Structure 1
Amino acid sequence: MARLNLLEETRFEKLPVSVYPNQQIASVTVAARIAHLIRTKHQKGETAVLGLATGVTPIAVYKELVRLHKEEGLSFKNVVTFNLDEYYPMKPDAMQSYVTFMNENLFNHIDIEKQNIHIPDGTLAMDDIASFCLDYERKITELGGLDLQILGIGRTGHIGFNEPGSAPNSGTRLVTLDDLTRRDASRDFGGKENVPTKAITMGIGTIFKAREIILMAWNKKKAPIIKKAVEGEISGDVPATYLQLSEHVEFVLDQDAASDLTRFDTPWLVKDCVWDLPLTKKAVIWLSKTLDKPVLKLTDEDYNNNGMAQLVVEKGSAYTINIDIFNKLQHTITGWPGGKPNADDSERPERALPAKKRAIVFSPHPDDDVISMGGTFIRLVDQGHDVHVAYQTSGNTAVWDDDVLRYVEFAIDFNQSMGEDNSKLTAVYKDMRNFFKEKQPNQIDTKEVRLVKGYIRKTEAISGARYAGLTDDHIHFMELPFYETGKTQKNSVTQEDIDLTKTLLQKVQPQQIFAAGDFADPHGTHIVCFNIILAALDQLKDEAWVKDCWLWMYRGAWHEFEAYEIEMAVPLSPQEVIRKRNAIYKHQSQKDTPVFPGDDAREFWVRAEDRNRETARIYDQLGLANYEAMEAFVRYKF
């Protein structure tokens, strides 16, 4: 019976899927399977032939394999490896080379024989590539084929670098990279323009010949393409769907990557559910949007025809459910994000008391505050709350080099007009120009360049916070040490980062904290900054003020909360939308074309307005008041 229930839950899924609580547990599980294969082959005196992947996805797997080698004696002497792909052209000692990646993450730390390592050669002459690819295939065949191939998946649905349009029987070859793939790689190359347009990759046909295939995917950004690969029709538009034809494949996912699969996203379509309030709210909003009907107009028939008959039976009628969920949605809306004084707060998202609250807006980068919650920020100040803003990092990697020269040129001219000695500044300026002429993609800036870039972001942040109404003593620049590497790869968080946060929290003792809960930023800075806040609060939990402190998460720079998640929706008037836009405009270095735009071509102010208007539109569609825009928040219970 349990097996039948599982088949019903997974009936939309066209291949085996294993879901783990997080990527660390999943990675350790995959590493254990690889280790078992290696040991089994060793006991038989045979060679284990592995197909390996690169990118962020397999890093934890490789880390665990290194641990197994060093701590549990796992030997790689009987292992031969073939990597999936390599950029072309690419020097093997380049930072972005997959040779460098594999050496740093695996090969330099285990006892594998160097002659047993095979990675496509990115230095070949164009005329030599075809013969190299045939030889690559021949070597795999002579070893009896791949025992195990591990894969990641790109957001185009590519496996290896088999982009949309790849044939299911394709072999190792030179390919042209999709624009989205190059955008996703841009952080490693210091801009999309530096990413190679081509790569050498194993083909889908080559991958298919492996006796076992494990495709891994982590985090929410991969959820949409995983749904297509697992539940969609087989199509050359999504090459990973060809894996549905294999009898030897398994998808290994964390909960976030699996979250769009039917059994997790809309479980009422495949099984009986425990209808708690969060699931009921999600299902009713889904039904309303699916049928394009306001919540209060949904009928028993609507529920029964869309997998939600059990909910009607439990709650009594559609009318009862509709009223309850409508009221819950209505109660999320407030024009008083700091709480409304002298009001009944039993059905409001924030407490009425104290009437004037101490609040800190934590901003991971120097513009996240106004981009994501600029309207609420301004309203909190307008309504008389004691608001502080804390910029957690300098953001000094996200400024164009020519902006640095422009600002230094301004300083030189200003000093000259004031009769100051310019010799030292002029020398620094000359060094900067020479540095920029020779600068390589992703090369760390000099100390002086980093300082100027940090000053640019700092002055913009001050201007934006002043526009919101703050005085200078309420504007804090934390410059958390984990960020200050001068490159996109940051240091690990230390107690120093947490202590700096604790010091500020103890100084302000806020009743409200606003923090970025938007974890889709390209470099992962948001989640790191959020976890630092949580660690600081955990270490301060015995202090009296912490017990009366609420933590609100905001989004907007990269994506928005779903309607069913929202616990506080702050409506913005047309005039407030313009004020928010003006606050974002203060960040001129991020306007037009920022250094790290992600895969969204819109300017940040346009993204913010579009998302805020979409939230308001969804509330209107559900049958609530029609506002110009809304900023959304979710309370984190710590």
Structure 2
Amino acid sequence: MNVSTSTLYHKPGKFENSRFEKIHNVIFESSNAGSIAVANEIATLIKEKQKNNKTFVLGLATGSSPIKVYDELIRLHEEESLSFKNVVTFNLDEYYQMDPDNYQSYYYFMHEYLFNHIDILPENVNIPKGNLTIEESAVFCNEYEEKIKNLGGIDFQLLGIGRTGHIGFNEPGSHFNSSTRMVTLDYITRADAASSFLGIDNVPKKAITMGISTIFDAKRIVLLAWGQNKSEIVKETIEGEITSKKPATYLQQHNATTIILDTEASSQLTRINTPWLVDNCEWNEDLTNKAIFWLCQKTSKTILELADKDYHEHGMGSLIENDESAYELNIRVFNKLQRTITGWPGGKPNSDSEKRPERSTPEKKRVIIFSPHPDDDVISMGGTFDRLVSQGHEVHIAYQTSGNIAVSNDEALKFAEMGLEINPESDYYQKIIEFIQSGNKNVPDIQELRKLKGLIRQKESLGATRYFNVPDENIHFLNLPFYETGAIKKNALSNADIEIMIDCIDKVRPHQIYAAGDLADPHGTHKVCLDALFAALEKMKVLSYMKDCWVWLYRGAWHEWDIHDIEMAVPMSPDQVLRKRTAIFYHQSQKDGVMFQGDDSREFWVRAEDRNKTTANRFRDLGLTKYAAMEAFKRYFF
């Protein structure tokens, strides 16, 4: 069930559709809404303690999941006079070895995102120390435990969850009785943190973490999980067996735990993903399509091979109990899916538009492809990009960010040294070389280095777009301000970002917009760029020319749309697959040593080809024509 921010979700107990679920959970439409609800609960508990002149002991987490909770707590402090003077905090963890003044430390993180903006007393802030000797750390861990116990335990513990199922840094294998201690980090945990450290090689291998038993002693636990990347571990945590291999499953035994989810993180839960297995469904077209595609996979049959028996044996009998037979239903769903396939992503001239995903008129369309990073366009929709250009449409590419942080120092050093060789008197290149060779990883890149890295990615992009025969004047480097901080932490989306987007759209006045709808991007830029587009469209939708603009969302290197979500599928021949690969190869700085690839070691061109081939195979398995590869899109209505 989707719940508004005003709902009192925080009393675990019996909950709907609990046949599969073992932990109380609440799904919100967005991480913003869920975060506000959690912050309000914390604020309420703080105030209750204040009325009785008591201390409120708050356990805190780091990482991206709680940031919006902290933003709302700061707002409550600044605008509604919420005081934190009676609050004592204990953070879950810290990297080892890590000095507190290192901008990658959790000490720095907590002060940056919360403590510097509220009135908490400095002596009431407790964060594990990551800069002690091993012997000193053992003593510190025992003292940390004693301090929590002496305050009567943690009143409210905020948690995130890693894809290994870790809570805090309690990695797979952690014992239920574990206390605060030093641990070795799992490879996946380190891979997920690689973006913050500019590469996995820079991520510490050890950490200090509060133990499972310490967390479990908290009177109230709220775990946050946002995004599609967390959906699989969320399902295992809520529906799976309790196991040390997935430490978050221990929370099934805690009687005051709630897991707060957004729609993407909840997508694999049985009641969301396959609700017909839980209870009777109210069937709509989207759910019907999803269920039939699932049934095909379950039975290894094509759509047109499904029989009444298949529907009844898999909890879907109600679909064919009305006027429509299995045969008629199969034909209808098959025809709809078939009509999503088109070799004319800009619309086929002189065709029946009702049977195609795009309009036939105007025959030549103005198109903007928004690319969050300087290679998302060719990685995610290179084949479609090529088709649009070759079919005569006026194609513009708008690169929303410079992508400079994804260029390694080693790559930038090559260009700086070439520049200095050509111009030995250049202070510019000399300054860059000296900064890189200093080896200081604890400070953001200097402005000169950021500019060089941005230029590297810009020129790579022009190589790819020229290969596809797009005029240089149709390439737009927007350099949205939110991104240009020189550090992993980005600014919030601002009116300046949105106005740049509006200006770009207004200059082109497009009939089609393509944008990245892939929210699994591990460093969050895709989501901010998509939010910028949505905000721009909201402001522009009253304009007459925008009524003729259709928006198509593509996904990136990490995930593809589910079959039932796909509204346009563009097939590619083997030759087109090779052309797409060549375009990706122009992005040489991202080819051999990808800095932000998560736990997938494949290069982006390999991921893209595998993903496109898998999509084509899924269509084939449903009984449609076999293609070498396919790119998929979902329409967004504004």
Which residue number in structure 1 is paired with residue 206 of structure 2?
198
Structure 1 Cα separation of the partners of residues 500 and 54 of structure 2: 55
Which residue number in structure 2 is paired with residue 345 of structure 1?
353
Instruction: Give 1:481 shift.
Output: 2.4
Which residue number in structure 2 is paired with residue 572 of structure 1?
572
Instruction: Give 1:442 shift.
Output: 5.7
Which residue number in structure 2 is paired with residue 173 of structure 1?
181
Which residue number in structure 2 is paired with residue 424 of structure 1?
425
Structure 2 Cα separation of the partners of residues 526 and 602 of structure 1: 20
Q: Is the 8 A contact 1:8 1:270 kept in 2?
A: no
Structure 2 Cα separation of the partners of residues 74 and 474 of structure 1: 51
Which residue number in structure 2 is paired with residue 332 of structure 1?
340
Instruction: Give 1:598 shift.
Output: 2.5
Which residue number in structure 1 is paired with residue 371 of structure 2?
363
Which residue number in structure 2 is paired with residue 497 of structure 1?
497
Which residue number in structure 1 is paired with residue 274 of structure 2?
266
| Cα distance change on mapping 1:207 and 1:352 into 2, 3 Å | same
Q: Is the 8 A contact 1:556 1:611 kept in 2?
A: no
Larger mean Cα displacement after TM superposition, 228-237 or 390-399? 390-399
Alignment of 1:100-115 (within 5 A): 100-115=108-123
Which residue number in structure 1 is paired with residue 634 of structure 2?
634
Match of 2:425, SS?
Answer: helix
Which residue number in structure 1 is paired with residue 619 of structure 2?
619
Alignment of 1:354-393 (within 5 A): 354-393=362-401
| Cα distance change on mapping 1:619 and 1:449 into 2, 3 Å | same
Larger mean Cα displacement after TM superposition, 447-456 or 166-175? 447-456
Alignment of 1:250-265 (within 5 A): 250-265=258-273
Structure 1 Cα separation of the partners of residues 396 and 108 of structure 2: 44
Given the two structures, how large is their TM-score scaled by the length of structure 1?
A: 0.94
| Cα distance change on mapping 1:393 and 1:106 into 2, 3 Å | closer
Structure 1 Cα separation of the partners of residues 442 and 547 of structure 2: 44
Which residue number in structure 2 is paired with residue 447 of structure 1?
447
Which residue number in structure 2 is paired with residue 600 of structure 1?
600
Which residue number in structure 1 is paired with residue 329 of structure 2?
321
Structure 2 counterpart of 1:479, which letter?
N
| Cα distance change on mapping 1:55 and 1:299 into 2, 3 Å | same
| Cα distance change on mapping 1:580 and 1:315 into 2, 3 Å | farther
Alignment of 1:208-219 (within 5 A): 208-219=216-227
Q: Is the 8 A contact 2:420 2:430 kept in 1?
A: no
Which residue number in structure 1 is paired with residue 9 of structure 2?
none
Instruction: Give 1:239 shift.
Output: 0.4
The structure 1 residue matched to 2:31, chosen from 23, 33, 37, is: 23
Instruction: Give 1:371 shift.
Output: 0.8
Match of 2:498, SS?
Answer: helix
Deviation readout 1:248-303 (Å, 9 max, x if unpaired): 22212222222211111111111222211111111111111122111111111111
Alignment of 1:214-253 (within 5 A): 214-253=222-261
Root mean square deviation, CA, Å: 1.8
Structure 2 Cα separation of the partners of residues 110 and 221 of structure 1: 32
Match of 2:453, SS?
Answer: helix
Structure 1 Cα separation of the partners of residues 90 and 110 of structure 2: 11
Structure 2 Cα separation of the partners of residues 595 and 101 of structure 1: 21
Structure 2 Cα separation of the partners of residues 148 and 541 of structure 1: 44
Which residue number in structure 2 is paired with residue 543 of structure 1?
543
Structure 1 counterpart of 2:153, which letter?
G
Structure 1 Cα separation of the partners of residues 496 and 79 of structure 2: 30
Structure 1 counterpart of 2:410, which letter?
D
Given the two structures, how large is their TM-score scaled by the length of structure 2?
A: 0.94
Q: Is the 8 A contact 2:416 2:432 kept in 1?
A: no
Structure 1 Cα separation of the partners of residues 293 and 332 of structure 2: 12
Which residue number in structure 1 is paired with residue 134 of structure 2?
126
Alignment of 1:276-295 (within 5 A): 276-295=284-303
Q: Confirm or deny that 1:585 pairs with 2:593.
A: no
Q: Confirm or deny that 1:465 pairs with 2:465.
A: yes
Q: Is the 8 A contact 2:227 2:520 kept in 1?
A: no
Structure 2 counterpart of 1:326, which letter?
F
Q: Is the 8 A contact 1:405 1:429 kept in 2?
A: no
The structure 2 residue matched to 1:311, chosen from 314, 319, 325, is: 319
Which residue number in structure 2 is paired with residue 137 of structure 1?
145
Structure 1 Cα separation of the partners of residues 126 and 265 of structure 2: 30
Instruction: Give 1:233 shift.
Output: 0.8
> Which stretches in structure 2 are left out of the alignment for 5+ residues?
1-13
Q: Confirm or deny that 1:560 pairs with 2:568.
A: no
Structure 1 counterpart of 2:592, which letter?
D
| Cα distance change on mapping 1:371 and 1:128 into 2, 3 Å | same
Structure 2 Cα separation of the partners of residues 277 and 149 of structure 1: 41
| Cα distance change on mapping 1:43 and 1:388 into 2, 3 Å | closer
Q: Is the 8 A contact 1:295 1:326 kept in 2?
A: yes
Match of 1:552, SS?
Answer: strand
Structure 1 Cα separation of the partners of residues 442 and 336 of structure 2: 48
Structure 2 Cα separation of the partners of residues 442 and 373 of structure 1: 36
Q: Is the 8 A contact 1:224 1:260 kept in 2?
A: yes
Structure 1 Cα separation of the partners of residues 536 and 80 of structure 2: 36
Which residue number in structure 2 is paired with residue 418 of structure 1?
none
> Which stretches in structure 1 are left out of the alignment for 5+ residues?
1-5, 416-421
Match of 1:557, SS?
Answer: coil
